[in-house]
Structure 1
Amino acid sequence: MESLRGQEQIWQLMFSFVDSMALKCAIELRIADIIHSHGKPITLSQIASGIRSNSNSSISPNIPYLSRIMRFLVRKNIFTEHQEDNDEVISLYGLSDSSRWLLRDFKSSLAPMVLMQTHPLSMAVWHFLEDYVRNSSNTFEKAHGCNIWEFSSANPEFNKIFNNAMASIVPIYMGAMLSSYKDGLGCIKGTVVDVGGGTGGSISELMKYYPNIKGINFDLPHVIATAPALDGVTHISGDIFESIPSADAVLMKGVLHCFSDEKCVKVLRNCRKAITDKKNGKIIILEIVLDPTSNQIFDETRMVYDLLIPLFSGGKERTELEWKRLLNEAGFTCIKITKIPIIPAIIEAFLV
């Protein structure tokens, strides 16, 4: 029996890519949105009608295969199914706690992140996993001829997909951060610079909760070029390895895991120089804190990121001890780590 279970696990791992492809298909067909628009569970034919309407096509969807997609995703608990027996048995499909995170027009949606992670350009990088183990070569560069930042700058379509994915997790991460870290943010009275802040969603959200804060959104030129005007937010472009705009506090989310320890220390030292309030100033980092022995919620996803990040950017995820060593080397002390109900944790460090 144990041998059969072992065999079954290999089969499941072999075909696990089908899970993400079926999820991608459901998002592209807007199945969750179609069900949500009816306000109740609906039939397969109603889902098919919604797909046809959304695509403005005269061609009817492949209903037999759509039924297989739905059967698969029901088994994966992405959608619900129950049957009504009137003159004939009809299946009705509804939203689950999982599929509600796929609604495209909702503020908190993981749909853009799914589409970015399952995009052919992203998936191509994973085919160089073995090469990375053997040679430690830049796998994104192997797949696309340059690193991810250069590629995003030169490819507006991918840049948009990437920025949309990053923006989609802003309300999720900031909601958890703001509710769990009120005291840590409420004491800031001056300027906060969001380093690697993308199109500015995070700092804008922060300023809504704390109107006394002045916000700077700092990122690469090609990112800032697509950033919308946001009330009270100053957009500044530049290079984090050169200098960072002056502020009373620095916020960084998912930036440092993109780089080696040596590069991180350089960025952190620039952050230290940028902090104008040497007595009360601090850096607030939102990053994964690895604990390979833990089995808490999101730990499996954290371990996936531990494989993903080196391939895409050459960086790495870090344990609590590794974070403390990194920050100490850059001149920060009084380091505090706060676990919050999302994938990353809050890492807070002071100058003294």
Structure 2
Amino acid sequence: MEMEEERLVQGQIEIFQQLFAFADSMLLKCAVELGIADIIHRNGRPMTLHQIAAELPAPSPDISSLFRIMRLLVRKHVFVRRDRPIGGENGANSNPQPEFGLTSASRWLVRDGELSLAPMVLMQNYPSTLPVWHCLSRSVKEGGVAFEKVLGVDLWGYGAANPEFNQLFNSAMVCTCKIIMKAVMAEYDHGFSRFGSLVDVGGGTGKAIAEIVKSYPHVKGINLDLPHVVATAPRYQGVTHVGGDMFEEIPKADAVFMKWILHNWSDEDCIKILKQCKKAIPENTGMVMLVEVVLQCEANEDAWKDIKMVLDVTMLVYLGGKERTEAEWRKLLKGGGFNHCNITPLHNSLFSLIEAFPN
């Protein structure tokens, strides 16, 4: 009976943790909006609350509120706290003055960092799109995409009609692109040397293809995305931006590159896209390179497993897409006309590289 009561108490704790999990995301958003990680990073040392507050825009922030937020973020290992005596290192009877520093987690919240997830934090917590999560149970009962049920338009249409969200979405995609491309270039950069031309399908503002072309100037880079996306794309040496629809036509090239694109779409739509890819590449020598999440649902030690499953549900809510297992990827590629593929997990990454060949 005592053990059963302990299990019930533990279950209650777990439900409370899940119940308030949304607060974790809101805390991250608050930290990014206030620029706390940026302030500490810019100063190069741990700082007291008053020192942090002094660098925040007017009016002066409420120190008590800031302390309570930082206290929980320290508990969540986002920041680290140390107490330094006001009277100096040897001030034994002095009241401790807490200082807050960066951790390996909060370094990802520095907006100007080489690698940052700050734009993704803001995009995923955009106020006008958060209500779509409240429609999840309705989507389960009725089918369809929660985002479209709530906002009356799909994600791409919403971005086209809302410049603020479009800019935020593009910034989030650029930041994830940097993370993805660092992993890809570390393990596959030699593979790009074989191509004379490469088209990045759904390449956003062209950051990925530009990085490839910079390393391999002989490669003719083509960046394909929707017209309103490429309209804001900067110019890159050796890269041509094309506004278009991957369901209708993909520019011809030696190979097609797609990073985190097919997870946005249903199996039926993915097959349509893959068939367009096949038309765009040489029949005997062409290939498609996908950078995607590969789900591993069986018991294993994959540190990314929970994140991958959360992403899968996020795709369900926002786009009606999905993350896929290795078997599902192979089946999908075969349906699109690619009979052979190699799947390689990228080291220390959420993603895998999938090389697909029509013959």
Pairwise same-fold verdict (TM > 0.5): yes
Distance 1:333 1:175 in 2: 28
Once the 2 structures are TM-superposed, how far is the Cα of residue 251 of structure 1 from its aligned partner?
0.3
Give 1:66 deviation, angstroms.
Answer: 0.2
- 1:1-352 mapped onto 2 (5 Å cutoff): 1-51=6-56, 55=57, 57=58, 59-85=59-85, 86=87, 87-188=94-195, 190-275=196-281, 277-293=282-298, 294-340=300-346, 341-352=348-359
User: Using the alignment, how far apart are the partners of 1:156 and 1:119 within structure 2?
Assistant: 13
Q: Distance in 2 between matches of 1:295 and 1:118?
A: 29
- Tell me the equivalent position of 2:90: none
CA distance in 2, matches of 1:343, 1:350: 23
Residues in 2 aligned to 1:297 and 1:205: alpha-carbon distance in whole angstroms:
28
Please give the secondary structure, in 1, of the residue aligned with 2:179: helix
Equivalent residue of 2:100, what SS?
strand
Amino acid at match of 1:337: I
CA-to-aligned-CA distance 1:107-161 (integer Å, 9 cap, x gap): 3100000000011123111111101111112211111111111111111111111
Report sequence identity in percent.
48
Is the 1:32–1:103 contact (alpha carbons within 8 Å) kept by the matching residues of 2?
Answer: yes
For 1:11-43, what per-residue CA distance to the aligned partner results, in whole angstroms no more than 9, with x for missing partners? 000001110101100000000011111111111
* Rounded Cα–Cα distance in structure 1 between residues aligned with 2:135 and 2:283: 45
Q: Which amino acid is the alignment partner of residue 315 of structure 2?
A: I
Measure the CA separation in 2 of the matches of 1:330 and 1:145: 30
Alpha-carbon separation, structure 2, partners of 1:263 and 1:150: 17
TM-score w.r.t. structure 2 length? 0.94
Secondary structure, aligned partner of 2:350: coil
Following the alignment from structure 1 to structure 2, what is the Cα–Cα distance between the partners of residues 88 and 301?
A: 41
Task: Look up the SS of the partner of 2:55 in the other structure.
Answer: helix
- Give the letter for the 1:72 counterpart: L
Amino acid at match of 1:64: S
The Cα of 1:184 is off from its aligned counterpart by 2.8
SS at match of 2:284: coil
Counterparts of 2:339 and 2:192, CA distance in 1? 18
Counterpart AA for 1:160:
Q
C-alpha displacement of 1:220: 0.5
- Of residues 207-216 and 165-174 in structure 1, the stretch that sits farther from structure 2 once superposed is 207-216
Deviation for aligned residue 1:210: 1.9
Match of 1:315, SS state, is: coil
Give me the CA root mean square deviation.
Answer: 1.1
Alpha-carbon contact 2:222-2:241 (below 8 Å) kept:
yes
SS of residue matched to 1:206: helix
Comparing 227-236 and 26-35, the one that deviates more: 227-236
Q: Which moved more, 1:243-252 or 1:134-143?
A: 134-143
Does the aligned pair in 2 maintain the 1:116–1:122 contact within 8 Å?
Answer: no
Aligned partners of 1:42 and 1:92 also within 8 Å: yes
**Residue type matched to 2:151 in 1?**
H
CA contact (8 A) 1:44 1:67 kept: yes
Partner of 2:91: none
Which letter does structure 2 place at the counterpart of 1:205?
A: E
Instruction: Name the aligned partner's letter for residue 75 of structure 1.
Output: R
- Structure 1 segments of 4 or more deviating over 3 A? none
Write the letter of the residue equivalent to 2:332: L
Which sits farther off after the overlay, 285-294 or 93-102? 285-294
For residue 299 of structure 1, report the CA deviation from its aligned partner. Answer: 1.3
Tell me which amino acid in the other structure corresponds to 2:127: P
Deviation, 1:187, is 2.5
**Aligned-partner SS, 2:209:** helix
Report the Cα distance in structure 1 between the residues aligned to 2:303 and 2:218, rounded to whole angstroms. 34
DSSP 3-state at the match of 1:279: coil
Q: Note the residue ranges of structure 1 that are not aligned, 5 or more in a row.
A: none
